[in-house]
Amino acid sequence: NAGVTQTPKFRVLKTGQSMTLLCAQDMNHEYMYWYRQDPGMGLRLIHYSVGEGTTAKGEVPDGYNVSRLKKQNFLLGLESAAPSQTSVYFCASSYIRSNYGYTFGSGTRLTVV
Amino acid sequence: SQELEQSPQSLIVQEGKNLTINCTSSKTLYGLYWYKQKYGEGLIFLMMLQKGGEEKSHEKITAKLDEKKQQSSLHITASQPSHAGIYLCGADGEKGTYKYIFGTGTRLKVLA
């Protein structure tokens, strides 16, 4: 079992460029989440999905879009990257009830210059 | 909105020493989760607490949730270098929602 796989692991973007972060899970989890982690701010929820074809906004959704066309994949898109989006991005997934916690990917370190 | 405050923000202990990390919520906790993050990696789930007064242990790590369900503590006994990392508490933001919130983390360093 690979668990939660994020690609890419590192990326440097220029301001205004676009990119997509891919998250794939092989545990048949219903729920998937995108978080960003910044020093002193902890983990903040960007968007989440409670099932295939559904998405919802989290705490800091501006500047990001997401799609969940397949149950196992959750994509995070940046249409026009800004330096404020420099961060470490984590994807996570869980069963319907989070009694067993979330399974996290290893993160994507994004720098926008 | 609910907030989770962790203390201390950082901790340096000598190997073999015990330590405690606290997580305090501004509202009643419906589910409290502890995670460990190794530097540069993702989070690993440690344990979950739901009931007031509940206590769980995994190897040398014990977590407790107070009776009022607004504070949790994580206690490590006889710390080892392998315990080093960032410990984060997480909670169900509101009952019936899927929005998880996290504390800002406690950075632990264990000196050999």
Question: Residue B101's pLDDT band (boundaries 50, 70, 90)?
Answer: confident
What tens digit of pLDDT does each residue of A33-70 get?
A: 999 999 878 899 999 999 999 999 998 999 999 999 99
Measured CB to CB, residues of chain B less than 8 Å from chain A are 31, 33, 35, 40-48, 50, 88, 90, 92, 98-105
Whether B42 and A45 lie within 8 Å, measured CB to CB: no
Q: Is the pLDDT of residue A1 over 80?
A: no
Strands (DSSP E) found in chain B: 4-7, 10-14, 19-25, 32-37, 43-49, 55-58, 61-65, 71-76, 85-92, 100-102, 106-111
Which A-chain residues 42-81 have CB contacts (< 8 A) with chain B?
Answer: 42-45, 48, 50, 56, 58-59
Q: For position B39, what pLDDT does the model report? A: 81
| Chain A residues with beta carbon closer than 8 angstroms to that of B104 | 40-42
What's the rounded mean pLDDT across residues A3-8?
96
Whether A42 and B43 lie within 8 Å, measured CB to CB: no
Q: For position B98, what pLDDT does the model report? A: 62
Residue of A6, A21, A104, A109 best to disrupt the B interface, most CBs of B under 10 A: A104
Q: What is the number of other CB atoms lying within 10 angstroms of the CB of residue A79? A: 12
Strands B85-92 and B106-111 turn out to be antiparallel
What's the rounded mean pLDDT across residues A89-107?
87
Q: For position B26, what pLDDT does the model report? A: 85
Candidate from B43, B48, B101 with C-beta closest to A104 = B43
Residue of B45, B46, B50, B54 best to disrupt the A interface, most CBs of A under 10 A: B45
| Chain A residues with beta carbon closer than 8 angstroms to that of B46 | 101
Q: For position B45, what pLDDT does the model report? A: 92
Q: For position B67, what pLDDT does the model report? A: 84
With vertex at residue B95, the alpha carbon angle to CA B68 and CA B5, rounded to the nearest 5 degrees, is 55
What tens digit of pLDDT does each residue of B12-28 get?
A: 999 999 999 999 998 88
Q: A39 CB near a chain B CB, below 8 Å? A: no
Q: Is the pLDDT of residue B95 over 70?
A: no
Among A62-66, A105-109, B91-95, the minimum mean pLDDT is found in B91-95
Q: Is B83 in a helix, a strand, or coil?
A: helix
Among A28-32, B38-42, B76-80, B108-112, the minimum mean pLDDT is found in B38-42
Nearest CA in chain B to A107: B42
Tell me if the bond preceding A61 is cis, omega within 30° of 0: no
Question: Residue B34's pLDDT band (boundaries 50, 70, 90)?
Answer: very high
Question: Residue B31's pLDDT band (boundaries 50, 70, 90)?
Answer: confident
Q: Report d(CA A3, CA B71) in Å as an integer.
A: 31
Question: Residue B69's pLDDT band (boundaries 50, 70, 90)?
Answer: confident
